[in-house]
Amino acid sequence: MAARRTRGMTGPDVSRSTVARAASIAEQLRYECSILLELYREKESFTADVLVDGRLVSVAPPSSQLDTRDKLWRLHSALMQCRSLLERAIAREEEELGGGKKGDYETQRKMVKDRLSYLLICTGELLKTAGGAALLTPSLEGLELDGPTALFELKLWVYRIFKEVDYWTKTAITTLEALPSVIAKERVRTSRVRTTRSTRR
C-alpha cells in the first residue's frame, strides 16, 4: 500500500461546494496536462501513439464497495504519489537534460505542478471532512523515483509520469463528480439505520 491512514469516526458530511471546487481544479489540471503532453511530444519529437506500459502509482484497486472516505483516501494517496513523481521528473530533467532557457514547456510544467498541489489541498480537505485521515504518511516504496540512466529511456520515463498525472487527474474528475450521489445514498442508508434503531427502542 502506498500510504497509511488513520480513520476518523465522523460520517461522510462532505461539503458540495468543496467537492465542486476540487472538481473544477481537476478539470483545469486535465486541460493543462493535455497541453503539457503536447508540448513534451513536440519537444522530444514523440508521436501521440508512443506506448507507455503500466501504472507508476500504487494504490488499492477501485471497488464499488468503497465508501466516500475510502474513495477519497485512494484518490488523495494517488495524487500525492503523482506529485512526488512529477517533482522527481522535473529534477532529473534539469540535472540530465539541462535547465536551459525557460520557455512554454517549462512554464506549462510548473503550472501543472502548482495545479496538482492545489488539487491535493482540496482532496485533503475533503478527506478530513469525510472523517478520513488527518495525517497521510506517504510511502514512496516501489515508486520509480530515480528513473533510468539512458537518455532516451529517461525521456520516456518523464513522459510516463506526465501520462500518469493525466490519468489520475481524469480519475479525480470521475470520482469527484460521482461524490454527491454517493454521499446522498450513504446518508439515506445511515438515516435508515438510525430510524430502525429508534423504532427498536
CATH of the domain at 163: 1.20.1250.10
Q: What pLDDT does residue 96 have? A: 82
Q: Is the model's pLDDT at 100 over the cut of 70?
A: no
Residue 138 has phi, psi (to 5 degrees) of -70, 135
Q: What pLDDT does residue 187 have? A: 56
The model's pLDDT over 43-92, given as tens digits with 9 standing for 90+, comes to 998 887 777 777 889 888 888 788 888 889 999 999 999 999 999 999 99
Lowest-pLDDT range of 111-120, 140-149, 171-180: 140-149
- End-to-end alpha carbon distance in the chain: 42
Q: What value does the mean pLDDT take over residues 156-160? A: 92
**197 belongs to a structural domain:** no
Q: What pLDDT does residue 176 have? A: 93
Domain count, the chain: 1
- CB count within 10 Å of CB 5 equals 19
**79 belongs to a structural domain:** yes
Q: What pLDDT does residue 51 have? A: 72
- Which residues span the domain enclosing 168? 17-46+57-180
Q: How confident is the model at residue 11 (pLDDT cuts 50, 70, 90)?
A: very low
**11 belongs to a structural domain:** no
**74 belongs to a structural domain:** yes
Q: What pLDDT does residue 162 have? A: 96
Q: What pLDDT does residue 70 have? A: 87
Q: What pLDDT does residue 12 have? A: 43
Q: What pLDDT does residue 58 have? A: 87
**100 belongs to a structural domain:** yes
**7 belongs to a structural domain:** no
Q: What pLDDT does residue 186 have? A: 53
What's the rounded Cα separation, in Å, for the pair 37 and 181?
A: 32
Q: What pLDDT does residue 201 have? A: 58
- CB count within 10 Å of CB 55 equals 14
Which pTM was predicted? 0.79
Q: How confident is the model at residue 123 (pLDDT cuts 50, 70, 90)?
A: very high
**176 belongs to a structural domain:** yes
Q: Is the model's pLDDT at 184 over the cut of 90?
A: no
**91 belongs to a structural domain:** yes
Cα angle value 93/26/37 (rounded, 5°)? 35
